[in-house]
Chains A and B, each alone.
Chain A
């Protein structure tokens, strides 16, 4: 095809009949760079925002986990206290029953004497 290009009459015809390309305006580059900077700026803003957002989510997670586990701990204290209280009451109730039984035994014994 290179060979064809060299002998090709169209090749000369194209180069002879090319319109001159208008010169680039001086501000073209500046406009392009401004556009790129404007395009990049929101990105870095949102990148910064996303770091903050991630930090906030992390703090929220840590906070809620801490609150959750503290709540569980308190719940277990409460249930332990309840357990001790109820078993103590049970113990006392048992004592009273025993005292009553002993009292009744004494009374029965006194009647027989």
Chain B
């Protein structure tokens, strides 16, 4: 945050260098590869446009997460309106150990996709992005208790799904 004072291109470039990896991870995990480049770009455009409004009430990282998460959620909402399913992973016959690993990966993604969007987002932020519950609450703009509930129920539903798929943890 120290380097970042005003809406200027050089400082924005620094911000981009620092957070583009993080934003890519999040977008990829939220929406998959198809729209990845467009949504990463859209996230940074919104960050650029929103810079004058950023008052430093939360950390810059949390704010960047918030913008990128909203971009993904907007995209998913539009996809849902268009009747499009969340991205799927195609697998062939599962023979080798590698295939088994892929099966687990696919099951995890499928399991996440069966959850309510708010539970899915909360789990992605909690497990993959390793944000604390407090940070997730700030990113999503909801109360801490709401996040706790979303993680709890999401976790329960996901474990149930994995169990049905024959995956024991």
The CA-CA distance from A17 to B123 in the complex, in Å, is: 14
Would you give the 0/1 interface string for A6-29, flagging 1 where the beta carbon is closer than 8 Å to chain B? 001111111111110110110011
Residue of A nearest to B107 (CB): A17
Stretch in A30-38, A44-52, A85-93 touching the partner: A30-38
Q: How far is the CB of B138 from chain A (nearest CB, A)?
A: 15
Q: Which residues of B contact A9 (CB under 8 A)?
A: 169
Within 8 A of A (CB), among B135-149: 148
Residue of B nearest to A13 (CB): B169
Q: Which residues of B contact A2 (CB under 8 A)?
A: 132
Q: How large is the interface on A (under 10, 10 to 19, 20 to 34, 35 or more residues)?
A: 20 to 34
- SS class, residues of chain A in contact with chain B: helix
Do A11 and B127 touch across chains, with their CB atoms under 8 A apart?
A: yes
Do A22 and B20 touch across chains, with their CB atoms under 8 A apart?
A: no
The CA-CA distance from A28 to B155 in the complex, in Å, is: 35
Q: Does B33 contact A (CB under 8 A)?
A: yes
Q: How large is the interface on B (under 10, 10 to 19, 20 to 34, 35 or more residues)?
A: 35 or more
Q: Does A1 contact B (CB under 8 A)?
A: yes
Q: Does B60 contact A (CB under 8 A)?
A: no
Do A32 and B128 touch across chains, with their CB atoms under 8 A apart?
A: no
Contact for A16 among B13, B24, B104, B132, CB less than 8 A: B104
Do B41 and A31 touch across chains, with their CB atoms under 8 A apart?
A: yes
The CA-CA distance from A24 to B29 in the complex, in Å, is: 15
- Mark B residues whose CB is within 8 Å of A: 9, 12-13, 16, 20-21, 24-25, 28-29, 33, 36-37, 40-41, 44-45, 48, 101, 104-105, 108, 123, 126-128, 132-133, 148, 151, 155, 158-159, 162, 169
Q: List 8 A-B contacts (CB under 8 A).
A: A1-B132, A1-B151, A8-B155, A14-B127, A19-B28, A21-B25, A36-B9, A37-B9
